[in-house]
């Protein structure tokens, strides 16, 4: 399945963001760590094979930089994952 590695990385980024939103765990997760997880997703060429995936990941990265709430960042990552699952090729 095309996009499997990208989907896995996006899910890992979502899990990281959700752990911040839920306040779970003893260790504090920084915005830098979240941004790094999103950049890891952007490094994959697979994100360019499907329309809007790179755009949503970029928006999630911008949201982290802008200090948006974790819930908003997670929602944007879910949009990237959804676009990847739809699998519409880029134009």
Structural domains present in the chain:
4-85 (1.20.120.430)
- What percent of the chain has a predicted confidence (pLDDT) above 70? 88
For residue 24, count CB atoms less than 10 angstroms from its CB and return exposed for 0-12, middle for 13-18, buried for 19 or more. Answer: exposed
Residue 26 predicted with pLDDT over 90: no
Kindly indicate the confidence band of residue 21, based on its pLDDT and cuts at 50, 70 and 90.
Answer: confident
Region 72-76: mean pLDDT is 96
Residues 6+ apart with CB under 8 A from 81: 7, 10, 11, 14
What value does the mean pLDDT of the chain take? 89
pLDDT above 90 coverage of the chain, percent: 71
Q: What is the pLDDT of residue 91?
A: 55
């Amino acid at each position: 399945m095309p996009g499997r590695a990208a989907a896995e990385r996006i899910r890992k980024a979502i899990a990281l963001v959700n752990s911040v939103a839920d306040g779970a765990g003893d260790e504090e997760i920084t915005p830098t760590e979240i941004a790094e997880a999103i950049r890891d997703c952007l490094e994959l060429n697979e994100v360019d094979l499907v329309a809007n995936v790179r755009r949503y990941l970029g928006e999630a990265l911008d949201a982290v930089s802008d200090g948006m709430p974790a819930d908003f960042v997670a929602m944007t990552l879910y949009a990237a994952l959804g676009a990847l699952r739809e699998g519409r090729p880029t134009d």
